Structure 1
Amino acid sequence: MRNLRQCWRGERQVTRANIPSGNALPALLLWLACATAPVTFAAEKVSLIKIDGAIGPATATYIARSIEEARSQNAQCLIIQLNTPGGLLDSTQKIVQSFLASPVPVVIYVAPTGATATSAGCFITIAASVAAMAPATTIGAAHPVSIGGLPMGGEPKQDETMKSKIENFAVSYIEAIAGKRQRNVEWAKSAVKESVSISADKALQLKVVDLIANDMPDLLKQLNGRVVDGKLLKTAGAEASEIVMSPSERVLQMFSHPEVMLILMLIAFYGIIAEVTTPGAILPGVAGAIALVLALYMMSILPVNVTGLVLIALALALFIFDIYAPTHGVLTVGGIISFFLGLLLLFNSGDPLFRLSLRYIIPATLVTAAFFIFVIGKGVRAQFLPVKVGKETLIGKTVTALTSIDSRSGRIFVEGEYWNAVSDTPIEKDGQAEIAAVLGLTVKLKPKGK
């Protein structure tokens, strides 16, 4: 009897043709094993990044690159684990634009427990394709006063008209985002106008977010089967592949901290002044020039206050003037006060995330004052002291003639060395004379007392 039995496993096929009856039992067992074996497929992939801290240019660049990598990896979605107190407005706008234009669904997950998505973080969460929060997290407080990065580093004190314009812009912006993502528009507007902040449970109840997840596996489980941006998500048991910051993004992230800018400014001041007062040192000047360029770059991305920069420049000028003009320390005291106030006002006070604390300002002021008073001041004043070494120190010394000295020749011994000596007035051997001038390797003498 001719039999034909086939067994499939994926794309593999097992065929039995013209099997003798004596081998029927082993063939049947093989067929049963193939038929009951589980079909295995490659696990779906989701991309993951973690944002923990203030939102700045590095964050915007990192997120934009991660979206592109998630697309190239054919990931089901990009999950952004977020914990931020806020950040720069222009960086927030770039992130929102990246979300709205993303070819892959973007999931914001405010986590871990105790995390916040306030200020700029509120805008970012509402702009996501899916907004999720962990238990005991908060969202809100999106008033523009606490969002930095105002155009041209605006002054911290604005008139009422400017405040109204900025607030109206923020309200309309978050309203458009919430409407686009079909979230609670009225609450979003109140988060800007009244700085309202709510918990995760309340956010879910008000339809500000889409779900609450205890952890990452729970989030993937709840995302599974959702249709997001026209795509059916298959995230149950998916593999989370984390995309880390590149070295250049880490450097850019470091430059987003006001403390780093303060250090660079100090290095620039110390290096350039040290090079000016001690020409030829080279290293201080090179280090100062590099630090100055980096500090200028940071001024373009941080909310710097022009008043603070002017006060710091005034302090530098007062320190230098006091070195050359003895004022018994009056200008130095003025420089210290100006430097301290300049650091206080260096960043807009309306932006709590980009503000120098006193634990940095006070030590920086004391170190700068000590640097100019004890290092630069002493060094410059030393240049005006009488010469204490070299040939010039011989002038005026009294010497004893070793031989008879006239206008043609003679010998003396002074400062451990033998010198040729001449004198317009003849001097006898063992006679006392005074050095009047040094002419190369010859000293010119004059009789003692004349």
Structure 2
Amino acid sequence: MKAWLALFTVLVAVIALPSSAAQTGRSVPVLHVDGAIGPATSDYVARSLEAAAEEGAPFIVLRMDTPGGLDNSMREIIREILRSPVPVVTYVSPSGARAASAGTFILYASHVAAMSPGTNVGAATPVQLGGGGGPFSAPEKADPDKEGDSGSASASEAKALNDAIAYIRSLADLRGRNADWAEAAVRSAASLPAQAALEQNVIDLVARDRNDLLAQINGMKVIAGSAETTIDTRGVTLVDVNPNWRTRLLGAITNPNIALILMMIGLYGLLFEFMNPGALYPGTIGAICLLIGLYALSALPVNYAGVALILLGIALMAAEAVSPSFGILGIGGIVAFILGATIMIDTDIPEFRLSWPVLGAVAATSLGLTVLIARLGLSAHRRKLVSGREGMIGALGEVVDWNDGKGHVFVHGERWRAVGAHGLNAATPVRVMSVDGITLGVEPVRQAPSGSYAPPPETEN
């Protein structure tokens, strides 16, 4: 009897083991959004949400600390959250963190919005600096007394403001959160600390740490995708999902300063290849760098006037290298390139602005290379010709045979027909004075004591 009881206990344990392992083996990915939100961030979040859905994760934790970011990247993240079948729990953490500007929109779009003590949310007013994909900041109010383009500028700002208000109110209505405060965060850059945000129904909970967060969200019902889901945190394991090499690479090349440097390396690599055909290395490296730089620019909010100036600068500098104009084309190209680079990135977010030291270094390098090309061109222009018809004038040679003022001479390793003075003998040193087709006009030169050829003595007029 005891043996049967022991066997039954073992069987029950074996049957129960897979269920227990499955329960304790559930992993929850924790994504980390730190710093300004850009193309690399949106790519990282989108790929992680897709992977979590494929792996059947019970929910996702999006830990966030951001001052804001690019509008296009923010909207891409929100689209992925809204269509995700896996609930997204956005947690503003640690203490001292913030969900400002674009972070406020992402917090409102999340299925569960949580903050840790000592954090804040808000200040979500947009600014459009002249094109789509702009950042978030406070716009200036329209002044009806101003003339010129102020009306169109005010209209553009009003459109951006109203669009952002409608967007965040729709997110608030979708998640059942305070839509009036959301509008105030956009319209007047309102901001709240964590506890006040909880009291005003801006967020769902305040959690001290991850364990407190898991305890509070357990059993919450949310609409994820098109179905209602109950969050179950029993036996889950939080697993940090850090950005992979692809995200880190994208984050590096979408830095406008890196993109500009890559474009310059690509430009000069191609120019050196054109100047020295067959070198291969400059052309190969230059083409790769230029394509990567252009890809980075395509992922950033750009001003097309700046892009046009950059292309004009590149064309002028290429023309300087191909047909040197003693600097004028190169200098004009540098000026156009720097002006274009200054206005190219359409944002006032520090992380996505070109650095003045980088611009200065690029300008100095370009100016130095242009001056070098101009000096080489000027030096080549002043140098005596050593090939062709002009290169033959003044060349030294030696008589091969001679009869009655004509014969053959040996010049530049070649045998030429020649005409000249009577009485020249074989091996007499001569100098080429003219070229008529394939016949040279020569005259004798005296021979220096060392045996080398020397020019004839000067005569007075």
Alignment TM-score, normalising by the size of structure 1: 0.77
Structure 1, unmatched stretches of 5+, are: 15-38
Specify the alignment match of 2:199 in structure 1.
Answer: 205
Deviations 1:88-127 (A, max 9, x none): 3233222222222222211111223332222211111111
Match of 2:293 in 1: 295
- 1:62-141 paired onto structure 2 within 5 Å: 62-141=44-123
Cα pair 1:421 1:445 within 8 Å, conserved: no
Cα–Cα, structure 1 residues 285 and 390, in superposed 2: closer, same or farther, change >3 Å? same
- Residue 227 (str. 1) matches residue 221 (str. 2): yes
Q: Distance in 2 between matches of 1:232 and 1:432?
A: 105
- Aligned twin of 1:182: 176
Q: CA RMSD in A?
A: 3.9
Q: 1:400 to 1:333 in 2, by over 3 A?
A: closer
2:125·2:161 contact (CA, 8 Å) conserved in 1? yes
> What count of residue pairs does the alignment treat as equivalent?
416
Q: Write the distance in 2 (CA, Å) between the matches of 1:292 and 1:182.
A: 48
Report the 3-state secondary structure (helix = DSSP H, G, I; strand = E; otherwise coil) of the residue aligned with 1:145.
Answer: coil
Aligned-partner Cα distance in 2 for 1:121–1:46: 22
Please tell me whether the aligned partners of residues 146 and 350 of structure 1 are also in contact (alpha carbons under 8 angstroms).
no
Amino-acid identity (%): 34
Pick aligned residue for 1:315 from 306, 313, 316 = 313
Taking the aligned partners of 1:313 and 1:13, their CA distance within structure 2 comes to 72
- Which AA in structure 2 matches 1:435? V
CA contact (8 A) 2:67 2:99 kept: yes
Q: Does 1:428 align with 2:422?
A: no
1:97 to 1:288, Cα distance in 2 relative to 1, 3 A:
same
In the TM superposition, residue 208 of structure 1 has moved relative to its aligned partner by 1.5
| Distance apart, 1:347 and its partner CA | 0.9
Native 8 Å contact 1:45 1:235 kept in 2: no
**Cα distance per residue 1:380-399 (max 9 Å; x no partner):** 44554545656875641455
Change (3 A) 1:13 1:249: closer
**2:324 corresponds to 1:341:** no
SS of 1:107 mapped into structure 2: strand
Q: Which amino acid aligns with 1:434?
A: R
Farther-moved stretch of structure 1 (166-175 vs 384-393): 384-393
* Alpha-carbon contact 2:399-2:426 (below 8 Å) kept: yes
Q: Give the CA deviation at 1:186.
A: 1.3
Q: What is the one-letter code of the residue matched to 2:442? A: K
- 2:209 pairs with 206, 212, 215, which one? 215
Change (3 A) 1:335 1:123: same
Q: Aligned residue for 2:252?
A: 254
Q: Distance in 2 between matches of 1:179 and 1:148?
A: 30
TM-score by length of 2: 0.76
Pair 1:365-2:347 in alignment: no
Once the two structures are TM-superposed, the CA of residue 46 in structure 1 deviates from its matched residue by 1.5
TM-superposed CA distance for 1:331, in Å, is 5.7
Tell me the residue number matched to 2:30.
48
1:192 is aligned, of 182, 186, 193, to 186
Give the equivalent residue in structure 2 for 1:163: 157
Deviation at 1:188, TM superposition (A): 0.9
Matched AA of 2:251: Q
Residue 22 (structure 1) aligns with: none
* C-alpha contact 1:141 1:192 (8 A) present in aligned 2: yes
Alpha carbons 1:88, 1:147 under 8 Å: kept: no
Measure the CA separation in 1 of the matches of 2:349 and 2:117: 28
Aligned to 1:30: none
1:245 shift after superposition = 3.8
In the alignment, structure 2 segments of 5+ residues that lack a partner are: 140-148, 446-455, 457-461
1:161-220 per-residue CA deviation (whole Å, 9 max, x = no partner) reads: 121111111101100101111112111111111122232233223222222233323322
Aligned equivalent of 1:447: 443
- Match for residue 12 of structure 2? 12
Change (3 A) 1:6 1:178: same
SS of aligned partner of 1:231: strand
Partner of 1:28: none
Q: Distance in 1 between matches of 2:427 and 2:29?
A: 97
SS at match of 2:352: coil
Give the corresponding residue for 2:449. none
Residues 387 and 9 (structure 1), Cα distance of their counterparts in 2 relative to 1, 3 Å cut: farther
Contact 1:76/1:233 (<8 A) preserved: yes
Closer/same/farther in 2, CA of residues 398 and 117 from structure 1, 3 Å limit: same
- Counterpart residue type for residue 374 of structure 2: G
